[in-house]
Amino acid sequence: MRHLTRPFVLGVLSRRKGVEQFVGAVTLAGVPGIRWVAVWPWQDGYNVSVHDVQDLDDEHYRDLSVLPPLDPEDEDNASYGRVIGQTQDPAEALELAERDTGAAPDRWVNHGVAGEDYADFVLARRARHRP
């Protein structure tokens, strides 16, 4: 089971590790892409970032951090995405991410695992479009 329960997510963050989530398809300025969200420890709190990146339609690209941003000028730093907030409390960071990005409370995964959900998304989309 790749998705973490809320207590596990909070445990990961309290151990100063990050969590992330593949949110789904997004279109910016007519360009299709995907969105993923990350919460990670920063200094004595937590950063929340959103990443709108190109959808390469390839289930082998599981490291979402290497996908090119849809709008390079809108990314603070390619590896950190667009930081949308900082909090001192890990639960508040998750609530911010869920409220502002469409992230689901039951879809968080450990850092580096959201690409598995992207791969599932690509494969499911292909299956739907098969003749």
**pLDDT above 70 coverage of the chain, percent:** 92
Q: Choose among 13, 61, 21, 16: nearest CA to 38.
A: 21
The residues facing 53 across adjacent strands are: 34, 69
pLDDT tens digits for range 84-108: 999 999 999 999 999 999 999 999 9
CA angle 83, 93, 118 (to 5 degrees): 70
Low-confidence ranges of the chain (pLDDT < 70): 72, 74-80, 131
Judge whether 53 and 66 are in contact, CB under 8 Å.
Answer: no
Judge whether 124 and 29 are in contact, CB under 8 Å.
Answer: no
pLDDT at 75: 57
